[in-house]
Structure 1
Amino acid sequence: MEIGAAATNAYLKAAQAAVKPQDTQDAGAISGAPFGQMLDAALSKTTEAAATAENAVASATMGNADLVDVVTSIAAAEATLETVVAVRDQVISAYQEVMRMPI
C-alpha cells in the first residue's frame, strides 16, 4: 500500500510539473531570440532533464534516492521530450506547407 501511495504522489508531482507555467524571466530571455537560439535552448533543457532523470535513476540504484523523486524526474524528462517532438513535428509541417505554396 505504501508503494502505491508513493507512486501516486510521484505521478501527481510530475503532472503538476508538466502543467506548471514557465518562469517569466525564462520566457522573457527567449522571446526576442532568433529561432536557432530558441531551438538550442529547448534542446539544452531536454538534455538537462534527461541527465537529471539518469542521475536520479543512478542514485536510486545505489539506494540514495527516493522512488518518488526518480519517477518525477523521469516524467519531467518524458514531458520535455514530448514537447520537443511536438514542436519538431509542427516545424516540419510548416516547412512542407511552405514548399507546397505556388510561387
Structure 2
Amino acid sequence: MSTASIANNAYQMAARLQQQMPAAEDASPKAETVDFGKMVSEAVETIVDKGQQADDKAVGMIEGKADVVDVVTAIAETEIALETMVAVRDRVISAYEEIMRMPI
C-alpha cells in the first residue's frame, strides 16, 4: 500500500463521514455530545493495533512468510498514524496553553 493509496483511503473515509453527517442531522434535531476521551482512546487503540500488525508482518518476513513490501507498507501506515496522533496532541496542548493564558 503506497502513500497515495493511504491518502485515497483517508479521502474516501472523509467523504463517507460527510455523507453520513446530513443524515444524522435530519434524524436528530438536538445536538449530540461527543466523548472526547473515548475518541482519543479509540485513536490510541488504532495506533497500537497498527503497530502490532507491523510487528507481526516483520516477524512474518523474518520467518519467510511475508513480503518486504507488505512490511514496509505496514510500518509506513503505523508511522503516519503515529505522526497524526502526535500532531493532534500538539494542537490540544497548544489550545490548553492558550486557554490558560486567558485572563479570568
Q: Give the structure-2-normalised TM-score.
A: 0.76
3-state SS of the aligned residue for 2:2? helix
User: Superposition RMSD on alpha carbons, in Å?
Assistant: 1.9
Equivalence for 2:77: 76
Structure 1 unaligned spans of 5+: 1-12
Query: Structure 2: any 5+ residue segments left out of the alignment?
Result: 21-31
Instruction: Map 1:8-87; keep pairs closer than 5 Å.
Output: 13-19=1-7, 20-21=9-10, 22=13, 24=16, 33-87=34-88
Q: 1:49 to 1:86 in 2, by over 3 A?
A: same
Higher relative contact order (CA 8 A, sep 6+): 1
**Once the 2 structures are TM-superposed, how far is the Cα of residue 66 of structure 1 from its aligned partner?**
0.5
Report the Cα offset of residue 17 of structure 1: 4.1
Counterpart in the other structure of 2:90: 89
- Kindly, what percent of the aligned residue pairs are identical? 40
Give the structure-1-normalised TM-score. 0.76
